[in-house]
Amino acid sequence: MPSPILFKRLALAVFLLAGGAVGAGESPVLTLNAATEQAVQDNPDLAQMQARAQAMAAIPSQVGTLPDPVISFNALNLPVDTFDTRQEPMTQIQVGISQTLPFPGKLTLREQAAAFEAAAALQNVTEARWWLQKNVKTIWWGIFYLDHALQIIDSNQALLRQFIQITRTKYEVGEGLQQEVLLAQLELSKLLDQQIQFEGSRRNLAAQLNVLLDRPANLEITLPGSVDEKLPAIMAEAGLYQLAETARALLEAQRENINAAQARLELARKDYFPDLDVGAAYGARDDTLAGQERADFVSMRLSISVPVFLADKQAKAVDQRTSELMQQRYALQDQWNQVRGQISQAHSDYRRAREQSELFKTGIIPQARQTVASMLSGYQVNKVDFLNLLQSQITLFNYEMQYWNAFTEAQQALAQLNAVVGQEDIYE
């Protein structure tokens, strides 16, 4: 029978099966809500899109206003021999004002087109905000998975070290094989290699998250040790389609682009009609050299643009704007098809990951833990060989890793769904 010291070590091994806690670092805990709020507030890429939308919002009133009037000062019929304004009867000093008047409706259409484009830019900001939040959540959950994976690896390393001590002690007293010691050491080395890989991946994800939060890339990130592991039920795909049709900012932005293209088409048709230019001038004349008074002049002017190159200019512009309108309509249809595809894919990913995580949590992992405990009891009385015990522990380790991976994928798919639908409330 094994010695008492073996039973003590085996009891410690059973305790370690529950896993160990990792001490929290000194850096403040970054919750998921805090990360998304900070990203929305500080992300420079989102800020530049907001600035662009604000700039475009100032355009409609500019293009919808009449051109500035022109004030002119002229010296008419001035003799070049003396430059004397009293010498010739027609010499006058003139001041005038003129104003260009686009054909009625053109300014309104220009303002409408610019307003639609500004509205589309604002919707693009909303779209970018959703995808920024999605990226932050995806990376945050990736770090959360790696933290729990590293916890599992750490507890299994401690357990394997206990196994190594147990198998070494049994080998020394002639109750075990050297191969068991070597096998346990090999599995421990594999875990060390996996730990190195996961720690490197965590540093990379932390750097990416810091960039999105506009923080130094090497700033330490500490996440909460636990979260609510309940995964909610979500709406059916058809309901998500209906929700996205009205809530998705990408589609609304494209509708605004269509409206802008329609306004530009109507403006091109208005170019068939002439613009007007009106003006008035007052010409002051000096007295003659003999002192005779002369009357001042008033001049009136009306100019009309004549579209003589209609077939090569205005008609081609209408063709161009018509094609641009069709392009925008086809783009909306293509985007809608892509949105539905994204919803279906994210919906499927979430359902699969949710079902997997529930299966691992409620079925597979408890069964695997019972198997390990049974194997451990059998190993204590030499009824189970070490290879089977070790294999059962490795299997439990893999299932625990798969559970947290499935849980993380479900949360990431949920973040994807929020972004592609453009709505937080997508639950049943």
Are the beta carbons of 292 and 138 closer than 8 angstroms? no
C-alpha triplet 284, 288, 291: angle, nearest 5°? 115
Band of pLDDT at residue 186, cut at 50, 70 and 90: confident
**Element holding 282 (H helix, E strand):** strand 276-284
Closest CA to 123 of 239, 247, 263: 247
Per-residue pLDDT tens over the stretch 301-340:
999 988 888 888 999 999 999 999 999 999 999 999 999 9
* Position 207 confidence tier, pLDDT thresholds 50, 70, 90: very high
pLDDT digits (tens, 9 = 90+) for 115-147: 999 999 999 999 999 999 999 999 999 999 999
In degrees to the nearest 10, what's the CA dihedral of 159, 164, 168, 169?
-10
Secondary structure (H, E, C), 79-144: CCCCCCCCCCCCCEEEEEEEEEECCCCHHHHHHHHHHHHHHHHHHHHHHHHHHHHHHHHHHHHHHH
Angle, CA of 314, 320 and 325, to the nearest 5°: 125
222, 29 contact by CB (below 8 A): yes
CA 114, CA 369: separation in Å to the nearest integer? 65
The whole-angstrom separation of Cα 17 and Cα 89 is 114
Strand, coil or helix: 59: coil
Q: What is the residue whose two structure tokens read 């939308």? A: 53
157 contacts 188 by C-beta, under 8 angstroms = yes
At residue 385, the 3 state secondary structure works out as coil
Amino acid at 62: Q
Contact 65, 100 (CB under 8 A): no
Distance of CA 380 to the CA centre of its chain: 55
CA distances from 223 to 6, 21, 26, 155 (A): 38, 13, 11, 19
Tokens of 205: 């994800």
Q: How many residues are present in the chain?
A: 428
Question: Mean pLDDT, the chain, as a whole number?
Answer: 86
Over pLDDT 70: what percentage of the chain? 89
Could you tell me the CA-to-CA distances from 358 to 92, 146, 347, 366, 409 in Å, in that order?
95, 19, 17, 12, 13
pLDDT of residue 386 exceeding 80? no
Residues 6+ apart with CB under 8 A from 181: 164, 167, 168, 171
Q: Is 283 left (phi over 0), alpha (psi -120 to 50) or beta?
A: beta
Q: Which helix (H) or strand (E) is 281 found in, with range?
A: strand 276-284
Burial (CB count within 10 angstroms: exposed 0-12, middle 13-18, buried 19+), residue 109: buried
Instruction: Residue 408: name the closest of 38, 147, 210 by CA.
Output: 147
Q: Which pLDDT score is estimated for 174?
A: 62
pLDDT of residue 61: 94
Q: So what's the pLDDT on residue 177?
A: 61
CB atoms within 10 A of CB 4: 8
pLDDT given for residue 310 in this prediction: 87
pTM of full prediction above 0.85: no
Pairwise CA distance, residues 20 & 390, whole Å: 19
pLDDT of 111 reads 94
Side by side, the strands of the sheet bearing 297-304 are 70-76, 92-101, 276-284, 297-304
pLDDT tens for each residue of 4-61: 334 334 444 444 443 433 343 457 899 999 999 999 999 999 999 999 999 999 999 9
Q: Which CATH architecture has domain 4-65+104-272+308-421?
A: Up-down Bundle (1.20)
Q: What is the pLDDT of residue 12?
A: 40
Give the pLDDT mean for 380-401.
Answer: 78
Tokens 């920024």 belong to residue: 132
pLDDT at 205 over 60: yes
Q: Which of 225, 228, 241, 230 is nearest to 341 (CA)?
A: 241
